[in-house]
Chains A and B, each alone.
Chain A
Amino acid sequence: MKLKWAYLAILTGIAGLLAGCEPLLVLNPKGPQAETTANVIWLSIITMSFIVVVVLVMLTVILFKYRASKQDPDYEPPHIEGNKYVEGIIVTIPILIVAFLSVVSTISTHQVESPPEGYSEDEPVVIYASSSNWKWHFSYPEQDIETVNYVFIPTNQNVEFRLYSHGTISSFWIPQLAGQKYAMADMTNYMNVVAEEPGEYMGRNSNFNGEGFAENEFTVTALPPSEFDSWVEDIHNTADPLTEEKFEELLEPGHLGQMTFTGTHLDFKPAPEGENSPHNHGGSPDSEEDGGHHHH
């Protein structure tokens, strides 16, 4: 029993330690998508704590009340088959909780899969984020520039990341802005991200992809739109153009640090979407989106 208390003390200690720390990344959102998930996470933590508490209280009461050492040695526990009312309750309450969370899940999943509310009208800023072992290549077709291992985005604008991979499956994740999605070789995925606060955020590949996985990170910098535009202009004035030869070099496995180019690799090596999708078996242009994606 002493150990049990020691253990409780340690747990309380850890909880106290945490309370004094910085807020956890996922629960410290800087954009509407991450905010939706953070709210859902809090809601589910609260709902689930209720269940854990009910089970703990029932268990504690039963263990104290019905332990053998406390009972009459002659006590013979009764034979109880079950009771349809009791069993009705233990079925109904979990069903209600699950039904509630199913609604939450469906609504919030649709929310984070579409452009956030208030931003759906605007034309999104399109950035292709493609991974190779163990780097991220960011191509801006509109701005005609490409960066490696870092990405600048304008604040308060919907950025549509188009994700794919030059090899292994990786997962594109910026915890403070939005949940992750896979970047794969044979299908382009879409992700809407809005940063509502300027700042620098951690982004990484979260899906194990070999030896260089741990360092497979990138930084996301959110800037006010005017600063974003002058950053683009700067690159056009200073950076070298990205050639096919150079890009093939970049794809070699390894770590590169941050790099900047004018032009994008999409011109000579397009993303696996539409007519370039490896699993596109013809058909009308309307149905060109692979895997039944509807995408505006």
Chain B
Amino acid sequence: MDFFDRFTIPPHDDPMLYASIVAIGLVSIAIVFGVTYFKKWGYLWSEWLTTVDHKRIGIMYIISALLMLFRGGADAVMMRLQTAVPDNSFLDAQHYNEVFTTHGVVMIFFMAMAFIIGMMNFVVPLQIGARDVAFPRLNALSFWLYFAGAMLFNLSFVIGGSPDAGWTNYYPLAGTDFSEHVGVNYYNWALQISGIGTLMTGINFIATIMKMRAPGMTLMKMPMFTWSALITNLIIVFAFPVLTIALLMGTLDRQFFTNFFTTGDGGMDMMWANLFWIWGHPEVYILILPAFGIYSQIIATFSQRNLYGYKSMVASMVIISLLSFMVWVHHFFTMGQGAVANSIFSITTMAIAVPTGIKIFNWLLTMWKGKIRFTTPMMYSVAFIPLFTIGGVTGVMLAIASADYQYHNTMFLVAHFHNVIIPGVVFAMIAGLIYYWPKMFGFLLNERIGKWAFWNIVIGFCLSFFPMYITGLNGQARRMYTYSEASGFGPLSMVSFFGALLLAIGFVLIVYNVYYSFRYAPRNVGDDPWNARSLEWATHNPVPEYNFAITPNVNSSEAFWDYKKNGHDLFKGGIKDIHMPNNSGWSIIFAGIFFVFAFCFIFHVWVGVIIAFAGIIGCLLYRSFEKDDGHHIHKEEIEETEKKFGGAK
């Protein structure tokens, strides 16, 4: 039975853990049973699991991101509950460490990344008037690799044990000397697999945006979200290889006894911190730039005005992307590199505030002289501006190296980065989801429930995180599973917990809104429910498989507005046959084999590793010799579809 011992979880005398294992099991059985009962396996396989359609892949990314949001959110509520009162014993130290590690990894890699990539998948090809991305099959593989990574990571919870060295996974703590069980192996492999998927997404979207824009759409006529996606994917392509290599070095250290990050034999623990943040800081902008892009679309639409300062918006994103690679040291000013190095990185860090400030003022100036409608997506965008400004200025405070010696590793830092990520990325993704919902599903989400969710989330956010600035300045280090009553952190931590509950209620309301609107919302919303401006709104809701019946002809970044108001001739010529890629089960099978490969690697099951590796090579060979010319959607079929939508566009 020695072989099976490795799969057991390190001892936890915690009934909650077993309860969750049972819950996961029951939900899985319920899903399998449900799909079988309703005879949906065929539909699921042919329409979703094998799809190469960027819109469906985008939706699958977003569904996964929402699932991960609830997983990471449950972790967050557990942490706030544990720290709500002094000397609490709801979680023990080890369990708390696993919970905050999982929270960080899930929220960054499997929630935020998936959400932005899902949003890019759905929106970018529509915004540039393309029929799909440049490499649709590769795109499906990207998704399934991400999904395999996410599932692998979540499996750690029930088989073998979760990682417990923080999402930053610093060595030597993450090395086998201090973290013996397989948790960190899971971290390495789950992130490795989904990271490969992300890197492929980067290449795919650069190719798509550079090569597949509609006629007339020069670079400076791209909608702002597409610009943000282009720059984001450029950052991905430059930053992610660093993570790939760092994770590989970590894997070699843990599983093959090398000494890259160990404390003896020439290893250097500082190197992990450097490599991690050389990837990690650009990662911050990978998350925030698409959010900026979404806000630019939404604010222009609901101010009913064009985006102010288009050129400076583009320029500031380019500058941010360059600076993002020059600031990584500010994550460890306290490592002892001395005053000179710290001063240099302090200045480069603060410099980012300038292009970011330009964007804030440009959004304000977009609303100026506008005609502002307070829809739910706009309310998130309006709340974003002051909240993100507070997050930004506390970032400038942290950038002052001498002061950072006091903020570093404290709740002040935790407050700061949640203050930029939640109003920045999370609000943008929710706003974007509500905004593009009719494009995805052909109906609007209920505005009243949406606004209730909004107020819960905004107030919940403020109550959760503003107190942390104060407890941080009062000496509360982050990642402490408990504290004494004498420390005085109690009352404000209780406020945080209350805020976390409001946030949770807000997210549950969003899910309820989806259910409610699915049942009751009218389906006759038309093609332009928001009176929007950019090209993606020039096709139908929900978008037909081929996106545009006729490839649009673009003259500005607001082609649809020009079509509506200035008589621009968007669709020239007639409907022709459209060439589309074929669905294929190859991607999901390939990612599945990768999952097995990584799982066996984590547990040193070398037979499995070798068999899975052969499978991977087999898949690559199969794809290399596979002949797949796609298919055509015929003119008559398109005309019929268009007629159903009430006329061709």
A171 touches B334 (CB 8 A): yes
Task: Give a binary string over B475-517; 1 marks a CB under 8 Å from any A CB, 0 the rest.
Answer: 1011111110000100110010000000000000000000000
B350 touches A181 (CB 8 A): no
Docked complex Cα distance between A187 and B263 (Å): 10
Docked complex Cα distance between A75 and B410 (Å): 50
B479 touches A59 (CB 8 A): no
Q: Which of B303, B396, B477 contacts A44 (CB 8 A)?
A: B396
* Residue A138 is within 8 A (CB to CB) of chain B in the complex: no
B389 touches A210 (CB 8 A): no
* Residue A283 is within 8 A (CB to CB) of chain B in the complex: no
A66 touches B488 (CB 8 A): no
Q: Which of A14, A180, A189, A210 contacts B409 (CB 8 A)?
A: A180
Residues of the B chain whose Cβ atoms lie less than 8 Å from the Cβ of A55: 360, 364, 385-386, 389
Among A25, A34, A87, A168, the one with the most B-chain Cβ atoms within 10 Å of its Cβ is A168
How many A residues face the partner with a CB closer than 8 A?
97
A25 touches B475 (CB 8 A): yes
Residues of the B chain whose Cβ atoms lie less than 8 Å from the Cβ of A204: 475, 477
* Residue A238 is within 8 A (CB to CB) of chain B in the complex: no
Docked complex Cα distance between A98 and B347 (Å): 8
Docked complex Cα distance between A278 and B310 (Å): 53
Docked complex Cα distance between A163 and B409 (Å): 17
B371 touches A208 (CB 8 A): no
Among B177, B369, B409, the one with the most A-chain Cβ atoms within 10 Å of its Cβ is B409
- Closest chain A residue, CB of each to CB of B393: A48
Docked complex Cα distance between A177 and B94 (Å): 31
B396 touches A101 (CB 8 A): yes
* Residue A27 is within 8 A (CB to CB) of chain B in the complex: yes
B358 touches A3 (CB 8 A): no
- Give min CB distance, B338 to chain A, whole Å: 6
A45 touches B397 (CB 8 A): yes
Instruction: Knowing A106-B343, A187-B336, say if A63 contacts B475 (CB, 8 Å).
Output: no
B400 touches A51 (CB 8 A): no
Task: Give a binary string over B306-318; 1 marks a CB under 8 Å from any A CB, 0 the rest.
Answer: 1011111000000
Docked complex Cα distance between A14 and B499 (Å): 13
B477 touches A24 (CB 8 A): no
Query: B320-361: which residues lie under 8 A (CB-CB) from chain A?
Result: 332, 334-339, 342-343, 346-347, 350-351, 353-354, 357-358, 360-361
A66 touches B303 (CB 8 A): yes
Docked complex Cα distance between A36 and B406 (Å): 11
- Closest chain B residue, CB of each to CB of A64: B372
B474 touches A24 (CB 8 A): yes
Task: Give a binary string over B393-427; 1 marks a CB under 8 Å from any A CB, 0 the rest.
Answer: 11011011111111011100000000000000000
Q: Which of A109-117, A144-152, A224-232, A256-264 contacts B (4 or more CB under 8 A)?
A: A109-117
B353 touches A52 (CB 8 A): no
27 A/B residue pairs, CB under 8 Å, sorted by A: A3-B455, A14-B495, A21-B488, A24-B474, A25-B474, A40-B403, A66-B369, A66-B370, A67-B374, A68-B372, A77-B369, A80-B308, A90-B362, A101-B400, A105-B400, A106-B347, A179-B405, A181-B334, A184-B269, A186-B270, A206-B410, A208-B97, A208-B166, A208-B170, A210-B178, A213-B97, A292-B338
